[in-house]
Every structure is written in structure tokens, then in C-alpha cells.
Structure 1
Amino acid sequence: MSEQPDYARESSSSSVSSSVQDIEEDITIGSILSEENQKIDGNLGRRLSHLNSISHTPRVNGEIPDVDNATLDHERLLERLTTYGLAELQVEGDGNCQFRALADQLYRNPDYHKHVRKEVLKQLKHFRKLYENYVPMSYKTYLKSMKRSGEWGDHLTLQAAADRFGAKICLLTSFRDTSLIEIVPRDNTPSRELWLSFWSEVHYNSLYGADDLPTRVTKRKHWLF
């Protein structure tokens, strides 16, 4: 039997190394999540329990509103934040805002957005039959696009995030007729709530009570990135 070529051994070794690193990353992030879990869950659900929420339908992003409508939407969102005593932790608007906001709610650190996107992509890939009918394009093309940093998250990635992290995701929105949208995991009872503000088709931020808004500090990054 001929000896395996050097390049083949190197490729195999690289694949194994990559797989091991993926597992170690998941373990490390899991530890962070476990440590932070008790600190993150707040009382926003109780504070806004009087609001009627609507059922969530996963979908890709719609058209970005024109400047006039976007301005009105933003004013409406700001009024709701004031009315309900809420405040936004502003995250960077670099196309990763949904994942940054989720990372802040999960890990108290928006910089973990790459990991959140990675986990969402795993969910979308491994459970394709749950999601592909909501995508009006080639599912492979959709996944390839969503894998790129800077690609905007949509309501389908929110559903995948809820499923992946076992969380109910609550959106305080700028929609005229709908102030609250709740996205729940498909197959299990949510173990936590993640709160985001949603300036319709424009931007997501991480949401807190006005008296609980954390001061942004540079936290120690783990070796993941």
C-alpha cells in the first residue's frame, strides 16, 4: 500500500485541528454563557407584560424604508422607549447589528457577534427543512450570503437564534401597529429572554431598562477571536 501523500496528511490534520478548535470554542462559549446566565435575565418581561405581542413569521429582510418613513419609524421607537422606561445599548451599525445585539444579550459583549453568527449558521444548515421554505431564493445561496460578516440578519436568523440558544427573543419595534414581537424556540420551552429594539429594516440594538443600562466597558476577550 502506498504511503499517503504529504499534502493529504496535512489536509487531514488541518481538518481535525479545525474540528477540535470548533468543539473547544463551543465549550468555552458555553462556559461563558453559564457564568453570565444569572446576571443577564432581567425583568423587562414583567415590565412590558401588558403589551400585546404578535406571532412571529420567519422571513428575509424587506425593503429599506425611504428617509421620511425611516425617520418617522425611529421617532416612534424612541417614544416607546421613553414611555416604557427602556434604553438601548447602541451597537455598531456595520451590517452585524443583529448579531452584535444578540451577543450583548447573551454574553454582555457585542464583540462575540462572530460566534453568534456561526451558531446561527450551524442551526440553519443542520435543520434545513425547518427554514428553507421561508427563503425565496436558493437556500445554498442564502447560507453562503449569511455566512459573510456584514450581511444583515433577518427574521429567519432570529428564529434560528431562538432555536439554537433556547431563548425567547423579544423585539420592541418601530412598526406602527405592532410594538412587540416575540420569537420563541420551536421545540422547547425557552430558558431565558433576549430583548432587542428593532428600527424596522434599519438597525437592531440591545435593550435594557433605563435604570439597568450597563456602562460600556472593554471586557477581556477570550481566545476565540
Structure 2
Amino acid sequence: MRKGVNSECEELERQLKEKHGQEIAALNGDIVPDIDDVPELEESTLGTPEENSVNDVTETLGKTTISESVPAEDGQPKKRNRQKDRLARRAAEQEAAIEAAEIEAANQPDPKAIEHAKLQQEFKTHSLVEKLIRPDGHCLFSAVADQLQQAGIPLGADSDTELKEGERYKVVRKAAARYIEGHPDDFAAFLDEPLTAYVEKIRDTAEWGGHLELLALAKTYNVEIHVLQNGGAQTIEPGEGEGNRTEKIWLAFYRHGFGLGEHYNSLRKAP
């Protein structure tokens, strides 16, 4: 009986070696014919504890797989590329994270679409149409210049009758800077830098304008500036003592609608 079991073990070991050889050849790119799976021992050949022990060893050998190091053509162990595995795993994790972020973003409200819908509703309520202004850092001053032109209000002593539409913002910039410079007590407390430096930026660069510049322009041109935006309209009044006639001008303010960030457009009366 022992001899028969030993013969079975030898046959299984031989087939296992052939199987390992086939797997190694496959890893090296060689094409080899398939071999049959290792057969199980018949129950008639097993019986005693000693024989069962031999069978257990045989089953363990049959379940054994090739280790991480296998012989290569030069006889040296061929190791798995752990760095390549890590990079592949990291790429898979990043792809999964991107997919999850895209799903989450798709389920979030679109602030650009919400803002656009709200402003369109406001335009319709006030019978206004939008005049697009180039988003170049001068948009507030260009929009105010367009509104002043529509209202028939001269831009100022610096204006030129031949001044091109795309250059009118320069006159409005200078007017805002001049007013801020001439009324330091009204503006200095709101600045994070010396007033002189701030005035130079507003006058000579593409520094974005905001509420301070709208206030200066409202007082300079004696106009009531209405700014339509998502979240409620804003009105900047010129104050008392600026003259008898107060013209209204209209601007649209965007926080999300333009790639560069905050933006102003001019609003004209609907035909």
C-alpha cells in the first residue's frame, strides 16, 4: 500500500513540476501546450493515517503557486516590479476619486446657471437688455461709460469726441481716481494700503473696480447707480448737494458667469 501511495506522490510531483514549468514559460512569453490538472487520489488508495498524511502533503503541493521570484533566462530570480504595481494601484485610486468627484459635482447645484436665471428674471422685471462688456479688468468703468453715453452725460474734461468706445473706460477710471484722491477721509479707512498707491492703481492699471469706485462715480457724475445681481439689487446714491437732476444708470454684476471672476455688464432700456 505504501508503495502505491509513494508512486502516486511521485506522479503528482512530476505533474506539478510540469505545471510550474508551463507557468514559468508563459511568464517568459513562450507558448506551451496545456497539461491536465493534477488528478485526485481515489478513495481506495487512502485509508490509514499515514497514507492520509502523504495525501495532505500532495494536496498542499498541488495548491502551491509560483512565488514572487521565478527563474529568468539568465538563471537569476525574476522579481515582480513592485513599483509598477504601486503606480498602477495609485492610478486606479486616482481614477476612482475623479469619478466620485464628478458624480458629486453633477449632483451639486450649478451656481452659474442659478445666477444667470435670476438675472434674466431681473432684466425682464425692469425692462432692460444686456450690453456685453469685455471681461478685461476694466469692465466696471467700461459699463459705466456705456451707461453715461446712453444717458447723454459727458464723461468729463478728459474725454474726446473721437475717443473709441473701447477706450472710454480710461476717462471714467481717471474720474474715479480723482474723486477718491480728493476725498481721502471718505475712503482711506476702507483700504489695506496707502491711499496714494491705491489711487495710482485705479488710475493707471487694470485693477478691478468695486463698491468704492461705484460710490466715487455716483458722486462724480451725480447718478444713481443700480446694480442687479443674484441676491438682491444694490443702489448707490450720489448723496445730497450733488445737483438737482439725478439720472439712473443700470449695471449687471456677475460672480460666477465669467471665467475671470467678478464682472459688470451694462444694462440698456429694452426697445
**Band of TM-score, shorter chain:** 0.5 to 0.7
Q: Which moved more, 1:106-115 or 1:191-200?
A: 106-115
Q: Is 1:153 paired with 2:206?
A: no
Q: 1:184 aligns with which of 237, 246, 253?
A: 237
Distance (whole Å) between structure 2 residues aligned to residue 68 and residue 146 of structure 1: 33
Report the secondary structure of 1:152's partner residue.
coil
Q: CA RMSD in A?
A: 2.2
| 1:70 Cα deviation after fit | 4.1
Runs of 4+ in 1 over 4 A off after TM superposition: none
Q: 2:171 aligns with which of 111, 115, 123?
A: 115
Distance (whole Å) between structure 2 residues aligned to residue 132 and residue 186 of structure 1: 19
Stretches of structure 1 lacking an aligned partner (at least 5 in a row): 1-66, 212-225
| 1:71 Cα deviation after fit | 4.3
Matches for 1:38-49 after TM superposition, within 5 Å:
none
> 1:210 aligns to what?
270
> 1:64 aligns to what?
none
Q: 2:144 aligns with which of 86, 102, 125?
A: 102
Distance (whole Å) between structure 1 residues aligned to residue 189 and residue 239 of structure 2: 15
TM-score (norm: length of structure 1): 0.57
1:14-58 residue CA offsets vs partner (Å, 9 max, x unmatched): xxxxxxxxxxxxxxxxxxxxxxxxxxxxxxxxxxxxxxxxxxxxx
How many residues are aligned here? 142
Stretches of structure 2 lacking an aligned partner (at least 5 in a row): 1-108, 151-164, 256-260
> 1:17 aligns to what?
none
Report the secondary structure of 1:164's partner residue.
helix
Task: Name the % identity.
Answer: 29
Q: Is 1:196 paired with 2:251?
A: yes
Distance (whole Å) between structure 2 residues aligned to residue 204 and residue 113 of structure 1: 13
Distance (whole Å) between structure 2 residues aligned to residue 80 and residue 149 of structure 1: 32
Q: Which has the higher contact order (CA 8 A, sep 6+)?
A: 1
Residues 103 and 111 of structure 1 are in contact (CA less than 8 Å); yes or no, is this contact kept in structure 2?
no
Report the secondary structure of 2:116's partner residue.
helix
